[in-house]
Amino acid sequence: MSGKHINLTLKVWRQKGAKDQGSFVEYQAKNVSEHASFLEMLDAVNEEIVAKGEEPIAFDHDCREGICGTCGFVIDGEAHGKLKATTVCQLHMRNYNDGETLTIEPFRANSFPVIKDLMVDRSAFDRIISSGGYISQNTGNPQDANAILIPKADADEAMSSATCIGCGACVAACKNASAALFTSAKISHMALLPQGAVEKNERALRMVAAMDSEGFGACTTTGACEAACPKEIQLTNISRMNRQFLGAVLTQRPKHKDGGAG
Ligand code: SF4
Ligand code: FES
């Protein structure tokens, strides 16, 4: 494919596992097409590393279409790189200049331990979802369209919250390593719709408790999460989560050990 080609120096974090100390190792990315994605550029670097008989740089990826949330690392201090609202798999090399040096490292957060090189363990997110990020009633078979009327503003808001792909950039960008943006997006997208609203109090209590028990830091509303989010999830979700959580705490009824009607 025609187009501009550039040469880059990459300082890549290499770490064999969670217990390894890790360090930056320098690589040359030569003759990189401006049409290549960032991950394709790393694929080419890895081919050269493998040809030398060395271990390739490990990084997560799956769809490479900005959908699955699997990819993600920090480029020059920015989670998913410098392009706004873009996952690292959708970041293209036309955004870089010939001769640049790029520093590439994994998301840094205690709750996301490094598995290897640029890969981190984000299973803490899965545990937050398992704690309440679902609707436990059987909602039955698909109904005719518009059987349950939902105000357009609510549907739009729920859809916007549901676009969170669980990549973890919000945690990596936050100075407190808070997972508030992720958790609040997951709480919001269900609470805003009638099927999910029924359990919203219990869900907020459980998911916030799970988030805290995973060791994520507190939200101090600096907005770094919103700025780094490739899906432009908004801080308003955090306000909604806080309101719901507080409401749930205030209206919580004591649990009776013997069950019963209370
Ligand atoms: S809120 Fe944004 S940055 Fe955080 S996990 Fe969801 S998509 Fe990724
Ligand atoms: S690989 Fe799926 S979002 Fe990047």
Ligand closest to Cα of 166 equals 1
Minimal CA–CA distance to 41: which of 75, 84, 79, 85?
75
What pLDDT digit, counting tens, does each position of 116-145 carry?
A: 999 999 999 999 999 999 998 787 787 787
Nearest CA to ligand 1 atom 7: 164
3-state secondary structure the chain: CCCCEEEEEEEEEECCCCCCCCEEEEEEEEEEECCCEHHHHHHHHHHHHHHCCCCCCCCCCCCCCCCCCCCCCEECCEECCCCCCCCHHHCEHHHCCCCCEEEEECCCCCCCCEEECCEECCHHHHHHHHCCCCCCCCCCCCCCCCCCCCCHHHHHHHHHHHCCCCCCHHHHHCCCCECHHHHHHHHHHHHCCHHHHCCHHHHHHHHHHHHHHCCCECCCCCCHHHHHCCCCCCCHHHHHHHHHHHHHHHHCCCCCCCCCCC
Minimal CA–CA distance to 212: which of 127, 136, 149, 94?
127
Cβ–ligand 1 contact at 79 (below 6 Å): no
- What are 5's two structure tokens? 């080609």
Give the mean pLDDT of the chain.
94
Q: For residue 144, what pLDDT is reported?
A: 80
Q: For residue 72, what pLDDT is reported?
A: 97
What pLDDT digit, counting tens, does each position of 88-118 carry?
A: 999 999 999 999 999 999 999 999 999 999 9
Cβ–ligand 2 contact at 64 (below 6 Å): yes
Cβ–ligand 1 contact at 186 (below 6 Å): no
Ligand closest to Cα of 67 equals 2
Residue type, 178: S
Cβ–ligand 1 contact at 182 (below 6 Å): yes
Strands 5-14 and 101-105: parallel
Residue 72 contacts residue 125 (beta carbons within 8 Å):
no
Measured from the Cα of 182, ligand 1's closest atom is 1
Measured from the Cα of 230, ligand 2's closest atom is 3
Task: For a ligand 1 pocket test, name from 128, 183, 229, 235 the mutation site with the most ligand atoms within 8 angstroms of its C-beta.
Answer: 229
How far, in Å, is the centroid of ligand 2 from the Cα of 140?
Answer: 32
Q: For residue 255, what pLDDT is reported?
A: 66
Beta bridge partners of 119: 116
Q: For residue 2, what pLDDT is reported?
A: 75
State how far the Cα of 14 lies from the Cα of 243, in Å rounded to an integer.
42
Beta bridge partners of 75: 78, 104
Digit-by-digit pLDDT tens for the chain (262 residues) are 578 999 999 999 999 999 999 999 999 999 999 999 999 999 999 999 999 999 999 999 999 999 999 999 999 999 999 999 999 999 999 999 999 999 999 999 999 999 999 999 999 999 999 999 999 878 778 778 778 889 999 999 999 999 999 999 999 999 999 999 999 999 999 999 998 999 999 999 999 999 999 999 999 999 999 999 999 999 999 999 999 999 999 988 766 655 443 3
State how far the Cα of 93 lies from the Cα of 39, in Å rounded to an integer.
10
How far, in Å, is the centroid of ligand 2 from the Cα of 68?
Answer: 5
Q: For residue 1, what pLDDT is reported?
A: 58
State how far the Cα of 256 lies from the Cα of 259, in Å rounded to an integer.
5
